[in-house]
Amino acid sequence: MKFVPFLAVLAMLVGCGHSAGSSDSGIRGRALLGPTCPVEPCAVFPTPYSGWFVVRQQGDLLTKVKTDGQGRFNVRLAPGRYALESESPGPPLLKTVEVVVHSHRFTDVTVEFDSGIR
């Protein structure tokens, strides 16, 4: 029975998971990429962005977020102020988006990535 304390600690750590916050609050939304053609006016509207961005709080990296094929994402976060930013410099570039998460709610946002096409 020497393993019982070890298993208890392991179960607590696994139970914490990688979630960045509570289960009933966070940020959800859609990511778009544009412009999509080099000449303005462009007949093609921004397209869904399938890729990564990061969530920071007070400059600290909390989590990375992957959008799906339609640009949708959902990240659980505790109430507070957050910044959504590009994962890396260069196109596609996401200008920092400040988001406030309230208790027991998901904040809906649309984030726009700049493709760099001009």
Q: Which CATH number fits domain 19-114: 3.30.70.100, 2.60.40.10, 3.60.20.10, 3.40.630.30?
A: 2.60.40.10
> 80: number of CA atoms within 13 Å, CB side?
14
- In this structure, the dihedral spanned by the alpha carbons of residues 17, 23, 26 and 28, taken in order and rounded to 10 degrees, is 90
Task: Write down the domain spans for the chain.
Answer: 19-114
What does the chain come to in residues? 118
Token output for 3: 């393993």
30 CB contacts (<8 Å, ≥6 apart)? 48, 67, 70, 71, 72, 73, 110, 111
Q: Is the pTM of this model over 0.95?
A: no
CA distance 15 to 104: 21
Looking at the predicted structure, is the pLDDT value of residue 105 above 90? yes
Give 60-90 pLDDT, tens digit per residue.
999 999 999 999 999 999 999 999 999 988 7
